[in-house]
Chains A and B, each alone.
Chain A
């Protein structure tokens, strides 16, 4: 397994266009997370999937954002009608099934998809 893969690595688009990012997690990981990171800041949580179920969404995730994980494997994050404020690095992370309530359950991150909205 080569870790968490994200595609595309870079996307430049014009304001108002739709973009879609794909994440392929580590194969035995059933938990998948999307984060957004802007320059000089830490990653901000967007949404969480356990298998195919989207169990949590941040208030940061406006109606223009939608995420899916149809078969509990790869996930997509779509941004409709992009705005300049959407410019950021979109990070995907995955983790294995929870090993107890206090388990480390480390998140493994992909290299991210960098979005630039002109």
Chain B
């Protein structure tokens, strides 16, 4: 299958750093996306990785290891508004660019 696994829930403190992990099946891998989704709203694009390494975008960074089938999203200087679900999604080759999503990680940021 194309199982994409990520933790169900995480909690963190305002101002701290949190890392959300994602593992996926490596066969046919053709890119990994992270989306943020606030309750009742559309998923919004955060980051894209297709090569190994770290991509940094302000307070958010995403890392990829293709050989290990592993990615993480790093959120720094957490703010209350970062409380949301974070969705890991993988594009597999031959799939017309469709994304296969994990179940999402619900992050709760508390004061």
Contact = CB atoms under 8 A, between A and B. Distances in A.
Interface of A: 4, 31, 33, 35, 40-45, 48, 50, 55-56, 91, 95, 98, 101-102, 104-112
A98 B95 CA distance: 12
A64 B33 CA distance: 31
Interface of B: 4, 8, 30-31, 33, 35, 41-45, 48, 50, 87, 89, 93, 95-104, 106
Given A48-B97, A91-B42, 7 more contacts: A42-B4, A43-B101, A50-B96, A101-B30, A101-B93, A104-B48, A106-B45
B106 to A, nearest CB: 8
Given A55-B96, A101-B30, A105-B97, A42 B103 contact: yes
Contact of A102 (B8, B31, B95, B101): B31
B50 A102 contact: yes
